[in-house]
């Protein structure tokens, strides 16, 4: 009676029929029936509102008179709803209910008629609304309940993979794809492929409350996850979700899942596939047959209906497909690296951000790291487990020097020596060969080449020319030659003995 009174109040205020039905969640037929009864009552709206609930009920909701001579049917009708509830209980059968019914009413119906009336009542409780969809309005999305399988070439073991089914209800045009997994990244990539296949974008996407799509289910305002929102913005479409446990809200794709079982699954039941690509290529072959096959009721194929009334009203595809991106917030550790946990791989950031919280945004190919709204690092994604991707410019100065030292090798030192001169190359080669483990000679080579910071390369080349004649050469020998300016002396000057005169030196006269 509260609803009836509310209807009267809204009519009195002059509210439109459509708004009243929407506000009270009432069908237009119900509203029309109330409106007719109000008119037949002969009373004004104000007078009706002054009546008691009982009087108003008798006036606007009169009981329908029972048909005479059908008391047995009327008695059974009162019990049918209770019988349907009883049938839901474990072990309760129609035979048991009929036996109990005949005990209460010995002159009641026989078993066959009892079952017929019960079935008719059951069907009357499950009426289905035939929904007419506008072309290009919605794409319905669902996972098939049964997976498809790939076979291992070596062991013959079969592995199950999920299957996504999408359909446009207006034309029944259908798309099917097998996914490596039901992860969000692959789910939205499959939706990309679906829109590419149909060549346009519908006004909205309808799915059930799958976790790849919805964070919090709600009949009126479901909360979609960030990936779904980003995908919808990229394709300029809207998101919508079905009510919880209401598969009829997306009845078209539910029906097409069964059609896919018959037209795709059944035809591949004797075939084996070893890669996802092989499986999806075969699905596309059978899918084209399904979409071009004439339907029984209309005589047209799904493809014909799609091209005739739906293709032209679809939105335009963007220039590139949506790239799914993950986002995590982490704290930069003492090694100025952040971890992508699913790959177990570390990526560097500038060392100044140690201890700061940063956001990692990444897709299948690239890593971007943000501090607030500022991007501070980019990397190519690596799938090397427990590996490190480090950029030299992110290191502090002492770490750069250490990393550079670790990069030294024989080729590096020979290349630098050759640029100075051939004798420098000979000396460096000799130093490299002087140790059992070549790495032990890198410091000596680095020290010799480092003399270029103090002496011209020409003097180093001259010093190495002097030292090259010795069977053993090292960094100290070259350094000594340069410090004593021996590299500047001629060969004759080097061979002529020169003894400085002082009081301790005896002359020839001391030996008479």
**CATH code, 236:** 3.30.420.10
Q: Provide the number of structural domains found in the chain.
A: 5
Contact between 347 and 377 under an 8 Å Cβ cutoff? The reply is yes
Q: Do residue 105 and residue 207 come from a single domain?
A: no
Residue 384 counted as domain residue: yes
Whether residues 111 and 158 share a domain: the answer is no
| Residue 90 and residue 12 share a domain | no
73 in a domain, yes or no?
no
- Compute CA 397 distance to the chain's CA centroid, rounded to the nearest angstrom: 39
Q: Do residue 268 and residue 177 come from a single domain?
A: yes
Q: Which residues contact 428 (CB under 8 A, 6 or more apart)?
A: 413, 414, 416, 417, 445, 448, 449
DSSP code per residue over 41-54: H---HHHHHTS-HH
In a shared domain, residues 154 and 302:
yes
Residues 299 and 382 in one domain: no
CA distance from start to end of the chain: 152
CB neighbours of 86 closer than 8 A, spacing ≥ 6?
92, 97
In a domain, 145, yes or no: yes
In a domain, 228, yes or no: yes
What domain range includes position 386? 326-398
Regions of the chain where pLDDT drops below 70? 61-69, 126-131, 401-408, 437, 490-512
- Do 291 and 302 form a contact (C-beta atoms < 8 A)? yes
CA angle 486, 468, 417 (to 5 degrees): 95
Does residue 429 fall inside a structural domain?
yes
In a domain, 441, yes or no: yes
Task: Tell whether 367 and 340 lie within a shared domain.
Answer: yes
Q: 189 with 245, same domain?
A: yes
**Which among 313, 337, 356 is the end of a domain?**
313
Q: Are residues 247 and 344 in the same domain?
A: no
60-101 pLDDT tens trace: 765 555 444 478 888 888 889 889 889 888 889 999 999 999
Dist CA 352 CA 494 (whole Å)? 56
End of a domain among 398, 428, 452? Answer: 398
Q: Which residues of 367-405 are buried (b: 16+ CB within 10 A; e: fewer)?
A: bbbbbeeeebbebeeeeeeeeebbeeebbeeeeeeeeee
Using CA atoms, how far residue 394 sits from 4, 352, 388, in Å, is: 72, 8, 13
pLDDT recorded at residue 126: 67
Q: Are 152 and 272 in contact (CB under 8 A)?
A: no
pLDDT of residue 491: 60
Name the β-bridge partners of 331: 357
Sign of CA dihedral 402, 408, 414, 418: negative
Same domain? 97 vs 225: no
On the 0-12 / 13-18 / 19+ scale of CB atoms within 10 A, 46 is exposed
Tracing tokens 């692959």 back to the chain, one arrives at 186
- Please indicate, yes or no, whether residues 239 and 364 belong to a single structural domain of this protein: no
Answer whether residue 84 is part of any domain. Answer: yes
Out of 350, 371, 398, pick the residue that ends a domain. Answer: 398
Q: Residues 374, 349: one domain?
A: yes
Decide if 32 is inside a domain. Answer: yes
Task: Name the DSSP class of 398.
Answer: H
How far apart are alpha carbons 198 and 175 in whole angstroms? 8
């Amino acid at each position: 009676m509260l609803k009836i009174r509310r209807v009267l109040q809204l009519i009195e205020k002059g509210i439109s029929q459509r708004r009243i039905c929407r506000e009270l969640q009432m069908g237009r037929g119900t509203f029309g029936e109330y409106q007719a009864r109000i008119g037949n009552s002969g009373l004004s709206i104000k007078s009706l509102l002054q009546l008691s609930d009982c009087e108003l009920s008798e006036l606007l909701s009169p009981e329908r008179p029972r048909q005479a001579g059908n008391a047995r049917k009327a008695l059974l009708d009162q019990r049918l709803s209770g019988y349907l509830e009883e049938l839901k209980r474990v072990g309760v059968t129609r035979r048991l209910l009929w036996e109990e019914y005949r005990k209460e009413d010995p002159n009641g119906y026989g078993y066959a008629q009892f079952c017929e009336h019960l079935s008719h009542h059951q069907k009357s409780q499950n009426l289905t609304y035939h929904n007419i969809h506008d072309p290009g309005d919605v794409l319905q999305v669902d996972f098939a309940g049964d997976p498809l399988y790939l076979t291992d070439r070596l062991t013959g073991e079969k592995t199950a993979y999920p299957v996504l089914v999408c359909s446009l209800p207006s034309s029944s045009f259908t798309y099917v794809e097998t996914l490596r997994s039901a992860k969000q990244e692959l789910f939205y990539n499959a939706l990309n492929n679906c829109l590419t296949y149909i060549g346009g974008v519908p006004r909205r996407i309808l799915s059930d409350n799958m976790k790849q799509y919805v964070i919090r289910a709600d009949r009126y305002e479901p909360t979609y996850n960030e990936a779904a929102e980003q995908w919808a913005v990229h394709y300029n479409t809207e998101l919508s979700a079905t009510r919880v446990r209401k598969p009829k809200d997306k009845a078209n794709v539910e029906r097409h899942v069964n059609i896919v079982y018959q037209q795709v699954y059944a035809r591949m039941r004797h075939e084996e596939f070893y890669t996802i690509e092989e499986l999806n290529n075969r699905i596309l072959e059978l899918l084209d047959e399904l979409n071009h096959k004439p339907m029984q009721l209309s005589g047209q194929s799904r493809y014909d209906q799609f091209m005739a009334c739906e293709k032209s009203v679809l939105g335009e595809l963007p220039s590139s497909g949506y790239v799914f991106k993950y986002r995590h917030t982490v704290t930069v550790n003492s090694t100025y690296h952040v971890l992508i946990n699913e790959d177990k791989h570390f990526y560097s950031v500038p060392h100044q951000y140690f201890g700061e919280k940063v956001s990692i945004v990444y897709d299948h190919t690239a890593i971007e790291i943000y501090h607030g709204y500022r991007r501070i690092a980019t990397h190519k994604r690596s799938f090397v487990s427990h590996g490190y991707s480090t950029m030299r410019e992110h290191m502090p100065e002492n770490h750069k020097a250490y990393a550079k030292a670790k990069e030294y090798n024989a080729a590096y030192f020979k290349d630098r020596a050759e640029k100075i001169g051939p004798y420098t190359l000979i000396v460096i080669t000799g130093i490299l060969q002087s140790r059992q483990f070549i790495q032990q000679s890198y410091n000596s080579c680095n020290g010799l080449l480092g003399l270029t910071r103090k002496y011209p390369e020409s003097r180093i080349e001259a010093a190495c020319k002097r030292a090259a004649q010795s069977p053993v050469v090292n960094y100290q020998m070259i350094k000594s030659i340069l410090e004593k300016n021996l590299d500047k002396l001629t060969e004759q000057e080097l061979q002529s003995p020169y003894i400085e005169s002082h009081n301790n030196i005896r002359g020839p006269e001391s030996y008479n």
